Structure 1
Amino acid sequence: MSYTHPETGKEGEAMSHETRKEVIHTFQVNFFAMSRLNAFPWDSLDGEIMTTTTSDIITEILQKTCLHPICLKNPPSLKYRRRFLTELIKRHEMLAAEPLDALYEALGEVMCAQEEDMCYKTYLLPTGDAVSLAENVALISQGTTGLVTWEAALYLTEWALENTHIFKNKTVLELGSGVGLTGIVVCLSSSLTKYIFSDCHQTVLQRLKDNITNYLTNSDSSRASVCVEELDWENVSDEQLQRIQANTIIAADVVYDPDVIACLVRLLSRLLNCKVQEEHPDVYIASTVRNPQTYDCFKKELEMAGLRHVVMKDSVAQVFPYNRATTIEMIQIYV
């Protein structure tokens, strides 16, 4: 069966069962990650709506998003759910069908509720697991950017899922862990010995502890030992670094402020020269290159500190919904 889109005038055909299932899943993944609304497959939904006389696909999308148990327990922001439901209602009204009470009831609930500073983003893994993290609604709040998940952290997490062998039987230190996505996923997917989350902002550290408590417990003997360290790059002691004894160091989006580049490079130099079992640690840094001058400054500081780096160009499969057009570069640093 074919249809003509009411706004674009383009013709199309009804989707297959598998395509329909994929479209609904894409709606779910984007909804829980709070993707921009223009990232959703609205045209595909319109096509299905125009070739049927029922609201079935709208109902399924609603059940997989706003009415899903994950949303009921760990909801995206109110503003986001309002916008999503408003758009879904707009698409449903293209149907010459009876109003869908569940849609309006869901919108009514979020219209009456009061917005909070905190919301949840849920990241669906290839294993079927879901990681829900408490994040702040604002990108910058309480003087820090560490209360949200940034794109380079999503990329680093995808890379980690493809390279679990790198973490096998290792002690891993993550610099600037933020709300904890990468570390939680690494611990869930890799057979490592210990994972050390770290940050220096007190509010971030508390949020980080709250998030990892939901997924990682040392009482589970099948998982690695997990801890959270307050790590001040400027003032970290030799004793603290010796106690950490990390074989592998990872970080995402830590190269964004020219004022912290020098102390970051000094810390990396000290970490790389702390041999563990007679070997230098492996260091991997993923960065969103927002300011090329700042990023070039970081690389020059590495060179002046006697540290070499190589850009890792292997392709990484996309797992999470975010803009891959953004320039994200991952490097390995070594002495």
Structure 2
Amino acid sequence: MAPEESVEASRLLQSFERRFLAARALRSFPWQSLEEKLRDSGSELLLDILQKTVKHPLCVKHPPSVKYVRCFLSELIRKPSGDSVTLSESSAIISHGTTGLVTWNAALYLAEWAIENPAAFTHRTVLELGSGAGLTGLAICKMCHPRAYVFSDCHSLVLEQLRGNILLNGLLLESDATAPAQHPGHNTHNAESPRVTVAQLDWDIVTAPQLAAFQPDVVIAADVLYCPETVLSLVRVLQTLSACQKDRQAPDAYIAFTVRNPETCWLFTTELGKAGISWEAAPRHNQKLFPYEEHSEMEILKLML
């Protein structure tokens, strides 16, 4: 980098640092200067900005509000990618008897992994089990170009919020594809966007024909290993998916989770073995795009169904 370019970059980083530490309004940040600089500097500049803002020692010791950090990162992500993900979610960990109205760490972790490994999803049909607020799926739909994406969950309120988040991000559900005028203010539907559907899926009663109808190439789930009952139900669903493929190639499966209780993780891998499902740890990714507790131990297992 030329000396004058280095000085400009330093000034830009200092500007971001000062505004972020002061929790200034996002509109006051020099976004236009950043976009101009990114054309020459590449993504290294984004990593430097993260170090000066979200990962600044003061912010690590005294974190700003999660809402402010997420809004900042959403705006920052838009600069290289031209896109962002907007979510409506509950502020309570448990609301209306479900944990699915809020985004959990492993969903963020899996979204980052997917953005770094788009080939796992490009031009493929993806079935997500336990979609919750929908962040992982929305990131994949916008950044990884799947052919079709099926969001699923069992709780009616989660499904209602999920449909709203899909529309909020300019994607059209299959049932809404013929009536875009009903949703003013959303982005024009892109013909290259994936076919998006939402399915109510109860793991305890879903049948093999229902799962076979999805015809997934990829199956994903994030932060669904929170108790023995859900572990057993999930493995039954995965085993059924494996058995109902017939002449089709078995789908790839990626399960992301936070290691809260080693016994729960051990139960999951043990039950996979009993079901004849082999697995391996997916390689860790490098990008850190979202705010979550970095000291939390998170894993992604790739299953061979």
Task: Judge conservation of contact 2:126–2:219 (CA < 8 Å) in 1.
Answer: yes
| Alignment-derived partner of residue 258 in structure 1 | 228
Separation (CA, whole Å) in 1 of partners of 2:17 and 2:139: 21
| Alignment-derived partner of residue 64 in structure 1 | 26
Separation (CA, whole Å) in 2 of partners of 1:119 and 1:140: 22
Cα distance change, pair 62–169 in 1 and its aligned pair in 2 (3 A): same
Say which SS state the counterpart of residue 226 (structure 2) adopts.
coil
Displacement of 1:27 in angstroms is 8.4
Give runs of ≥4 in structure 1 deviating > 6 Å: none
Q: Which structure has greater helix proportion?
A: 2
| Alignment-derived partner of residue 284 in structure 2 | 314
Separation (CA, whole Å) in 2 of partners of 1:262 and 1:280: 20
Q: 2:81 aligns with which of 127, 132, 152?
A: 127
Q: 1:331 aligns with which of 297, 301, 305?
A: 301
Displacement of 1:210 in angstroms is 0.3
| Alignment-derived partner of residue 232 in structure 1 | 202
| Alignment-derived partner of residue 163 in structure 1 | 117
Structure 1 counterpart of 2:162, which letter? L
Structure 1 residue ranges without an equivalent (≥5): 1-15, 29-39, 43-57, 68-117
Tell me whether 1:301 sits opposite 2:239 in the alignment. Answer: no
Per mean C-alpha deviation after superposition, the further-off stretch among 141-150 and 126-135 is 126-135
Say which SS state the counterpart of residue 149 (structure 1) adopts.
coil
| Alignment-derived partner of residue 184 in structure 1 | 138
Cα distance change, pair 238–139 in 1 and its aligned pair in 2 (3 A): same
Cα distance change, pair 23–294 in 1 and its aligned pair in 2 (3 A): farther
Structure 2 counterpart of 1:245, which letter? Q
Displacement of 1:220 in angstroms is 2.8
Q: Which structure has greater strand proportion?
A: 1
Displacement of 1:260 in angstroms is 1.5
Tell me whether 1:174 sits opposite 2:174 in the alignment. Answer: no
1:134-213 superposed matches below 5 A: 134-213=88-167
Equivalent residues, number: 244
Per the normalisation by structure 2, the TM-score is 0.72
Tell me whether 1:21 sits opposite 2:12 in the alignment. Answer: yes
Per the normalisation by structure 1, the TM-score is 0.66
Separation (CA, whole Å) in 1 of partners of 2:104 and 2:28: 24
- Higher relative contact order (Cα pairs below 8 Å, separated by 6+ residues): 2
Give the greater-gyration-radius structure (CA): 1
Cα distance change, pair 306–133 in 1 and its aligned pair in 2 (3 A): same
Displacement of 1:232 in angstroms is 0.3
| Alignment-derived partner of residue 287 in structure 1 | 257
Separation (CA, whole Å) in 2 of partners of 1:25 and 1:256: 38
Say which SS state the counterpart of residue 295 (structure 1) adopts.
helix
Cα distance change, pair 162–241 in 1 and its aligned pair in 2 (3 A): same
Task: Judge conservation of contact 1:121–1:132 (CA < 8 Å) in 2.
Answer: no
Give the % identical residues: 40
Task: Judge conservation of contact 1:150–1:253 (CA < 8 Å) in 2.
Answer: yes
| Alignment-derived partner of residue 10 in structure 1 | none
Structure 2 residue ranges without an equivalent (≥5): 1-6, 30-66, 178-188
Separation (CA, whole Å) in 2 of partners of 1:272 and 1:181: 26
Separation (CA, whole Å) in 2 of partners of 1:275 and 1:120: 43
Cα distance change, pair 19–144 in 1 and its aligned pair in 2 (3 A): farther
| Alignment-derived partner of residue 46 in structure 1 | none
Separation (CA, whole Å) in 2 of partners of 1:19 and 1:120: 22
Task: Judge conservation of contact 1:120–1:133 (CA < 8 Å) in 2.
Answer: no
Say which SS state the counterpart of residue 276 (structure 2) adopts.
coil
Say which SS state the counterpart of residue 226 (structure 1) adopts.
strand
